[in-house]
Amino acid sequence: MSGLAPAQRSNGQPTLSERADALEEHMMHELEHIVTRSVLFGMADGKIQMESGPALMAKNPGKYMLMGEDPRLPKMPEKPTLIDYFRCRFASTSHLLQSATHALKGGHREKVVLACLLHDIAVVSFIRCDHGYWGAQMIEPYVDEEVSWAVKAHQALRFFPDESTGYKYPDMYVKLFGPDYQPEPYIVEEYKRARNHKHYMTARLICVNDIYSFDPNAKVSLDDFVDIIGRNFKQPKEGLGLDSSPSAHMWRTMLWPSRFL
Ligand SMILES: [Fe+2]
Ligand SMILES: [Fe+2]
């Protein structure tokens, strides 16, 4: 049960959070297997907790732990590609497609366009905090180091203006974080290191092409980038995530986010 529930219990009715918990419990019973939540998922609700295997088995007699795909999620092909993750695992792709379209129309090199297309994949599929670092590691084995380095560095660069490229501190950030927000020292240090890096401009171009004001009417399509992905993203023959690269486990976690182990 949640510790921080809006606990206005009137006349013995369950609270909102109790109802949510009960619904979740009910949905779990409908499934053939026992679905588990990683601790991180609960932390976002302010809870640090996990249920042990035996406790879950006791609550779900006759069922085994889920050790494969989650039937509630879109089915992924046997050998998934980056495009499949775009279609079946990314919660939203319009920001990425708009940024990449902007870069494409600006006549930038394919590596810059790809960096724009992938710069926020961690946000839309995985983890928000430090998304540049996560995103960079996810793609590192499959792209030119210029692309993954730029995705990592945009995490820091987006907080610092660069007049020479016309990049200002985004108004959106003032709205999102308040006027007094200051990036942490590790971000400041990352920015200083990035300034002198040979791929600085690629990372900066991610920021320049980052579309902060989402336009719901912009026409964008993943089809425009299939060839660029084909030429610049090394698709493993076993399927993305089913290979043995240093980041394959991250993709597998997206394939099977509710596996017990
Ligand atoms: Fe970003
Ligand atoms: Fe972005």
Q: What is the pLDDT of residues 101-141, one digit of tens each?
A: 999 999 999 999 999 999 999 999 999 999 999 999 999 99
Distance 237 CA to ligand 1 centre (A): 29
Q: CA distances (Å), 132 to each of 36, 115, 204, in order?
A: 27, 11, 13
pLDDT at 54 over 80: yes
d(CA 119, CA 159): 15
pLDDT at 15 over 70: yes
d(CA 153, CA 135): 11
3-state secondary structure of 65: strand
Distance 28 CA to ligand 1 centre (A): 34
Which residues have C-beta within 8 Å of that of residue 145, sequence separation ≥ 6? 199
Tell me the ligand closest to 151's alpha carbon: 1
pLDDT at 260: 94
Q: At 162, give phi and psi (nearest 5°).
A: -140, 100
Distance 155 CA to ligand 1 centre (A): 6
Residue whose C-alpha is closest to residue 251's, from 80, 73, 77, 65:
80
pLDDT at 56 over 80: yes
pLDDT at 6 over 80: no
Grade residue 215 by pLDDT with cuts at 50, 70 and 90: low
Tell me the ligand closest to 208's alpha carbon: 2
Distance 206 CA to ligand 2 centre (A): 8
Q: DSSP letter string over 202-241?
A: HHHHHHHH---S--TT----GGGGHHHHHHHS---TT-TT
**Are 165 and 210 spatial neighbours (Cβ–Cβ below 8 Å)?**
no
| Residue with more model confidence, 15 or 40 | 40
pLDDT at 21: 72
Distance 210 CA to ligand 2 centre (A): 5
Q: In b/e form, how buried is each residue of 233-244, taking b as 16+ CB within 10 angstroms?
A: bebbeebbbebe
**Structure-block tokens of residue 129:** 């905090």
Name beta bridge partners: 162.
167
In the block, which residue shows the tokens 């510790």?
A: 3
pLDDT at 257: 95
Tell me the ligand closest to 123's alpha carbon: 1
pLDDT at 214: 58
Query: Taking the model in full, what pTM does it have?
Result: 0.88
Tell me the ligand closest to 92's alpha carbon: 2
Which residues have C-beta within 8 Å of that of residue 39, sequence separation ≥ 6? 48, 49, 50
d(CA 189, CA 210): 22
